[in-house]
């Protein structure tokens, strides 16, 4: 067997267990919801901790699935992409905001003028 086929076989084996992992995730979330309702007489702090722990375990299990690893890779690449963004300086932001506000004001005035003229025209036609 070639190393690539062994890797592919491991991925297929891993994908087979994804269904069980997702079932465990759903079961943990159901336990969190039902447990929170069932133990309504227990203090709020303990119920919140139970829900948080159950959801955290569900999240960790979900991240070990094939789709979970894809989400992690997406998050890592998104973080790298955000680090590459060149953010505008304060003067650039203020200038751009001023341009947008002036443009909105001009378009608003033009629409008001058109509406007023059409209103006068319609009132002249209708008498």
Using the structure block, give the residue that is written with the tokens 């608003």.
108
Using the structure block, give the residue that is written with the tokens 């119920």.
47
CA–CA gap between residue 34 and residue 47 (Å, rounded): 11
Task: Identify the pLDDT of residue 9.
Answer: 58
CA–CA gap between residue 31 and residue 35 (Å, rounded): 5
Token pair in block for residue 37: 């309702």
pLDDT in tens, 76-114: 999 999 999 999 999 999 999 999 999 999 999 999 999
Q: Which residue blocks in 1-127 are alpha helix, DSSP H?
A: 3-38, 44-63, 66-84, 90-126
pLDDT in tens, 16-74: 788 899 999 999 999 999 999 999 998 999 999 999 999 999 999 999 999 999 999 99
Q: At a CB cut-off of 8 Å and minimum separation 6, what does 21 contact?
A: 61, 62, 64, 65
Q: Residue 12 pLDDT more than 90? A: no
pLDDT in tens, 63-84: 999 999 999 999 999 999 999 9
Q: Are 104 and 111 in contact (CB under 8 A)?
A: no
Residue spans of the domains in the chain: they are 3-84, 88-127
Average pLDDT, the chain: 89
Q: Residue 4 pLDDT more than 60? A: no
């Amino acid at each position: 067997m070639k190393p690539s086929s062994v890797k592919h076989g491991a991925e297929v084996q891993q994908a087979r267990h994804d269904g069980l992992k997702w079932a465990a995730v759903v079961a943990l979330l159901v336990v969190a919801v039902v447990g929170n309702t069932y133990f309504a007489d227990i203090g709020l702090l303990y119920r919140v901790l139970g829900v948080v722990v159950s959801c955290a375990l569900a999240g960790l299990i979900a991240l070990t699935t094939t789709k979970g690893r894809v989400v992690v890779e997406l998050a890592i690449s998104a973080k790298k992409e955000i680090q590459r963004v060149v953010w505008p300086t304060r003067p650039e932001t203020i200038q751009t905001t001023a341009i947008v506000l002036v443009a909105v004001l001009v378009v608003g005035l033009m629409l008001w003028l058109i509406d007023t003229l059409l209103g006068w025209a319609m009132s002249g036609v209708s008498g």
